[in-house]
């Protein structure tokens, strides 16, 4: 009784890929068209590969089963597959494997689709339910995906006799060999449709306008994709539908800008309000809020309103709303207003101010640090 591992010239712990490589090398060398008179050796190699390429047969063979790998002892080559699909793989790069696979199925999965949805910033902050209309392929209600006119059915192809493939003899450097290719009459399906459905022209699907409901979660941003599983087009012959991916495009807001989960805006305040302090109404995406402006507020100060930012997509909760102050200095004063400011300057001892730089760099650094920290 021959040892299959020795026949292929591989170790007993060889990987499936090593076994396949060894088999292909020997198959090319021993093929009858290349080496006449080596038919027995060729069959021996093919049989060894048939056993060792099958995990179950190989496991049984390694445990002491017969040379067929089935545990019934030596049984010659009767009823065994010689792996001719792999032989064709060796010579023709997989052309011969199609015949053993049978006819192709008309039923195929539908393609995925990518749509773009423009939303307002407020929708990104709070989330919403949106509706969009698309033109896509749906199941034909006349034939229910059978592709045939009701009352009729596909017929076996007269050319390939239902196999979906035809064989041809080709002349190569190795001599005459048999090649396999899809049947050009039935297109590899093994059947033809003499009476295709008049509504879908034998496709099993038709174009139709649909309305989709999309749940947009809070926290989405431009570029976020939402997957709608099974909402894409139906495949040929009523195949399963593909998926739809909705890519979000958040439109710019005239007041608020987004940075991560926070919203930012700039608030202009008069110099008097900044000096004296005031409680101001501020219109936000959550409605009107009260903004407490402390006396002595400076240009560039940032006031943080907690939990008024964008909803967090995965972590939950919300970011903050950061309001940066822009203190507006008046550029046109009446004589009365100018006189009042001169009186204020006199009271504050600022009638002859001197231009001087701050003597403490630490104060400037501290202010910048506080601004970046949102204090």
* Residue 160 annotated in ligand binding: yes
Residue 338: CB partners within 8 Å, gap ≥ 6?
none
d(CA 216, CA 327): 38
Give the H or E element holding residue 273: helix 271-276
Residue 94: CB partners within 8 Å, gap ≥ 6?
88
* Residue 147 annotated in ligand binding: no
Token code pair at residue 190: 């093994």
Answer for the pair 333, 341: CB distance below 8 angstroms, yes or no: yes
Q: Provide the sign of the torsion angle of the four alpha carbons 293, 296, 297, 299, taken in this order.
A: positive
Token code pair at residue 254: 């005239």
Which residue in 46, 54, 56, 55 sits closest to 23, CA to CA? 46
d(CA 375, CA 367): 9
d(CA 193, CA 103): 15
Give the H or E element holding residue 365: helix 361-372
Strand, helix or coil at 276?
helix
* Residue 157 annotated in ligand binding: yes
Answer for the pair 23, 53: CB distance below 8 angstroms, yes or no: yes
Token code pair at residue 62: 């390694």
Strand, helix or coil at 49?
helix
Answer for the pair 103, 163: CB distance below 8 angstroms, yes or no: yes
**DSSP β-bridge partners for residue 133:** 211
d(CA 245, CA 234): 15
Binding-site residue numbers are 140, 143, 157, 160, 183, 186, 197, 200
- Binding site feature residues for Zn(2+): 140, 143, 157, 160, 183, 186, 197, 200
């Amino acid at each position: 009784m021959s040892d299959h591992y020795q026949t292929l010239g591989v170790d007993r712990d060889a990987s499936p890929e090593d076994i396949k490589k060894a088999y292909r090398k020997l198959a090319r060398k021993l093929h009858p068209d290349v080496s006449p008179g080596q038919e027995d050796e060729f069959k021996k190699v093919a049989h060894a590969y048939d056993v060792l390429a099958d995990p179950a047969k190989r496991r049984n063979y390694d445990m002491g089963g017969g040379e067929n790998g089935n545990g019934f002892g030596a049984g010659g080559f009767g009823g065994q597959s010689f792996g001719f699909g792999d032989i064709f793989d060796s010579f023709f790069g997989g052309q011969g494997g199609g015949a053993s696979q049978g006819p192709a199925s008309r039923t195929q999965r539908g393609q995925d689709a990518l749509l773009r949805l423009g939303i307002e910033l407020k929708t990104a902050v709070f989330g919403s339910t949106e509706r969009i209309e698309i033109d896509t392929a749906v199941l034909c209600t006349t034939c229910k995906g059978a592709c045939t006119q009701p009352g009729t059915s596909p017929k076996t192809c007269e050319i390939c006799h239902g196999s979906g493939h035809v064989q041809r003899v080709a002349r190569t450097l190795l001599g005459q060999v048999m090649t396999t290719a899809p049947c050009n009459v039935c297109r590899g399906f093994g059947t033809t449709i003499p009476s295709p459905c008049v509504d879908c022209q034998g496709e099993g699907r038709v174009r139709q306008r649909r309305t989709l409901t999309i749940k947009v979660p809070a926290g989405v941003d431009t570029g976020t994709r939402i997957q709608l599983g099974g909402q894409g087009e139906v495949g040929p012959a009523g195949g399963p539908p593909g998926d739809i991916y909705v890519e979000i495009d958040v439109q710019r807001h005239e007041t608020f800008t987004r940075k991560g989960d926070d919203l930012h805006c700039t608030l202009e305040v008069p110099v008097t309000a900044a000096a004296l302090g005031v409680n101001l109404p501020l219109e936000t995406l959550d409605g009107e809020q009260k903004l407490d402006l402390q006396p002595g507020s400076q240009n560039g100060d940032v006031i943080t309103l907690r939990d008024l930012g964008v909803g967090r997509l995965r972590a939950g909760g919300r970011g903050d709303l950061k309001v940066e102050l822009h203190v507006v200095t008046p550029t046109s004063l009446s004589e009365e207003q100018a006189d009042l400011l001169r009186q204020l300057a006199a009271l504050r001892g600022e009638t002859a101010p001197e231009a001087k730089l701050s003597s403490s760099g630490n104060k400037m650094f501290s202010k910048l640090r506080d601004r970046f920290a949102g204090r």
